[in-house]
Amino acid sequence: MIETDLLVIGAGPSGLFAAYYAGFRGLSVAVIDSLPELGGQITAMYPEKAILDVGGFPTVKGRELVEGLVTQADTAKPEYLLGRTASSLVSDAEGVEVGCDDGTVVRAKAVLITAGIGKFAPRPLPVGGEWVGRGIEFFVPSFEPYRGKDVVVVGGGDSAFDWAQNLEPIARSVTLVHRRDAFRAHARTVAQVQASSVEIITKAQLSAVHGDASVTSVELALDGGETRELPAQAVIAALGFVADLGPMKEWGLTLDKRHIIVDSAMRTNLERVFAAGDITEYPGKVRLIAVGFGEAATAVNNAAVVIDPTAHVFPGHSSEAD
């Protein structure tokens, strides 16, 4: 049994900032995450990606942002419970009890859910499943392994274009393959990739993967029935992810599809349970890291009053603290 003032479920950017802010409010805090490392989706999916929409940073790599957030959160001396999934939650007027899949039980005076998109799994390619880990990857935690290689990126969203753009100066060649001639990625990034040496092939799908111990080439099925073979020692599948709230669906939360409904104080329908970040839904919601930071601070400040009714929602500015 672990006891704490505030339990944060989710160790992504919003969760890490919430841990810091809990410490600023003088609260003890514990953080649960099913991933073995801090940083949530950023650490798992795009640690090398340049993030452009965080206040004060014209550009910052994902891993650098996480490192800063961890250093900031460490001032609160949080207890991290990583590699564990919160499997049950029961709340009442006295507190909230959360059970983990490894048998750990956390008793908190309030809970803040910052679980992002929940558990996520990459969408598979139509072929080549047997090559995953031997040339086909879904994440790019580091660009260096792709140096001097022929790389094929499959997809038309932000991740596909970001990875193509970042790998272009490192790889021998980069080819981006998409089944349609329209893209979901940000228009500016699309324009930059189109102006680079990256070859973009549209109305095409991966139809075969060839190799011995690892991938050596891929075959594309083109619109019109033609085929084309490309040299490739690496294939990055960027087809998006399937997200699932997992056990949270059974906790009695009011949901809108895979998001938790909250009010302006980040309160859920459950007593002493708050939520912040990408997992929340309310009118006008915008899913940005910067928004998640503000929601985390709002949630912690309102939770502080639930934990200690003599406290104030607004504690003053951090610059006024000793």
Q: d(Cα 139, Cα 148) in Å, to the nearest integer?
A: 18
Count of CB atoms situated within 10 Å of the CB of 286: 7
Strands 204-211 and 215-222, bridge-based pairing:
antiparallel
SS3 237: strand
* Residue 72 is labelled as binding a ligand: no
Say whether 75 sits in a helix, a strand or coil: helix
Angle CA 26–28–33, to nearest 5: 130
Ligand-binding annotation for 41, yes or no, is: yes
Structure tokens at 272: 């002493």
**Cα–Cα–Cα angle for 307, 107, 37, rounded to 5 degrees:** 105
Establish whether 282 is an annotated binding residue.
no
Looking at residue 291, the DSSP 8-state letter turns out to be: H
14 is in an annotated binding site: yes
74 is in an annotated binding site: no
Any binding-site annotation on 278? yes
319 is in an annotated binding site: yes
**Burial (0-12, 13-18, 19+ Cβ within 10 Å), 308:** middle
Provide φ and ψ at 128, rounded to 5°.
Answer: 90, 15
Query: Cβ contacts of residue 31 below 8 Å, gap of 6+?
Result: 7, 8, 9, 10, 11, 15, 16, 19, 73, 78, 79, 80, 81
Instruction: Tell me if 205 is assigned to a ligand binding site.
Output: no
C-beta contacts of 284-293 below 8 A and 24+ residues apart:
288/53, 289/13, 289/14, 289/51, 289/53, 289/54, 289/65, 290/53, 290/54, 290/55, 292/12, 292/13, 292/14, 292/17, 292/114, 293/13, 293/14, 293/17
Question: What sections of the chain are H helices per DSSP?
Answer: 13-24, 40-45, 62-73, 158-167, 187-194, 289-307
As a whole number of angstroms, the distance between CA 160 and CA 280 comes to 26
Amino acid at 168: E
Binding site membership: which residues? 14, 33, 41, 46, 86, 120, 278, 319
Q: Tell me the binding residues for FAD.
A: 14, 33, 41, 46, 86, 120, 278, 319
